Amino acid sequence: MAERRQEDRDRLKVTFDTVADRYHSARPDYPDGLYAALISAAGLQPGDRLLEVGSGTGKASIPLADRGFAITCLEPGPSLAATARRNLARYPFVQVVGQAFEDWQPSGPERFDLVFAATAWHWIDPAVGYRLAWRWLRPGGHLAVWEASHVFPADGDPFFRELQEVYDEIGEGMPAGTWYFAPGELPGHRAAIDGSGLFTVTFERHFDWEIRYTAPEYIALLETFSGHIAMADWQRDRLYGEIRRRLAARPDGKVRRHWGAVLQVAARRDEAGQAARPAR
């Protein structure tokens, strides 16, 4: 079963490389407050060395490069990596390496102050991900993970629940018992991080924000999700046609999508299994 799940991850994660340019424009930016909290929780200072797992097009790399950090960005998708290089070309202290985290080896003995993954850690096999993050961190270093996820506040837009009948019709409905997380309810990776025995979660905070999309903007967003990329043409035609029709009937022609992210920062533990000393 574990091998099948990994096969599914490997199959779906490569789909993003087919929509590299669209990914950068359509995916949401993370809140500025998230970066401020990350820097404080990990005790980072400008010039510190960061290793990014699955940088994509540089959505999270750019704000951290703007704050003066030296970043090695790992991105196995050739098109995504090429887009990231263009987006990050103005930062001489940032490099994009076209390799997967699981395969990468540093060219020298350097260790990093932070290993981080922004909406990418769920693609990494946990059997190796935490071990490699621990290996490439200096003593006192930190691991940080967060995901941009759809959340459903009590006063949120009913569009998404109403649209489920169309997903059911095309055979892409949500499994029975699917939980719609409200803001502040996202589970994150705490159990796996602590369970690795290599890290201890020292900071956790939820962030929530809202974006309004026109039909073309919302469809462009959907076309960056692995499940939608993998759909058959007839499925996308039916779904996107219904999205256009329903939003055209709204006075403003827009849908409100609520985003959430839970930032978790974890301290590297030493060889004895104890939490390493706090970052400076």
Q: What pLDDT score was predicted for residue 177? A: 82
Q: What is the pLDDT of residue 12?
A: 47
Q: For the chain, what is the domain count? A: 1
Decide if 93 is inside a domain: yes
Q: Evaluate if residue 277 carries a pLDDT over 70.
A: no
* Residues 95-106: tens digit of each pLDDT: 999 999 999 999
Q: pLDDT (tens digit, 9 = 90+) per residue, 229-264? A: 999 999 999 999 999 999 999 999 999 999 999 999
Distances (CA, A) of 179 to 140, 150, 169, 187, 260: 36, 11, 20, 11, 15
Residue 111's domain comprises 2-152+180-210+259-268
Residues 117 and 54 sit within 8 Å (Cβ to Cβ): yes
Query: Can you give the pLDDT at residue 15?
Result: 64
For the whole model, what pTM was predicted?
0.89
Residue 23 confidence (pLDDT): 87
> ∠ CA 55-60-66 to the nearest 5 degrees?
120
223 near 26, Cβ under 8 Å?
A: yes
Q: At what angle do helices 215-222 and 233-248 cross, to 10 degrees?
A: 150
Per-residue confidence (pLDDT) for residue 20, from 0 to 100: 83
Residue 125: predicted pLDDT? 92
Confidence of residue 14 (pLDDT cuts 50, 70, 90): low
Four-residue CA torsion sign, 157, 33, 188, 69: positive
Domain assignment present for 217:
no
Predicted pLDDT at 272 = 43
The mean pLDDT value of the chain amounts to 91
Residue 170 lies in a domain: no
The CATH number of the domain where 15 resides is what? 3.40.50.150
Is residue 90 assigned to a domain?
Answer: yes
Long-range contacts of 269-274 (CB under 8 A, 24+ apart): 269/134, 269/197, 269/198, 269/199, 269/200, 270/139, 273/197
11 lies in some domain: yes
Q: Which of 189, 193, 207 is nearest to 148 (CA)?
A: 207
Structure tokens at 1: 């079963």
According to DSSP, residue 147 is labeled -
In a domain, 275, yes or no: no
Q: Using 50, 70 and 90 to split pLDDT, how confident is the model at 271?
A: low
Q: pLDDT digit string (tens) for 73-83? A: 999 999 999 99
230 assigned to some structural domain: no
Question: Tell me: the pLDDT tens digits for 103-152?
Answer: 999 988 889 999 999 999 999 998 899 999 999 999 999 999 999 999 99
Q: Across-strand partners of 144? A: 116, 265
In a domain, 233, yes or no: no
Of the listed ranges 123-127, 152-156, 205-209, the one predicted with least confidence:
123-127
Output DSSP code: residue 116: E
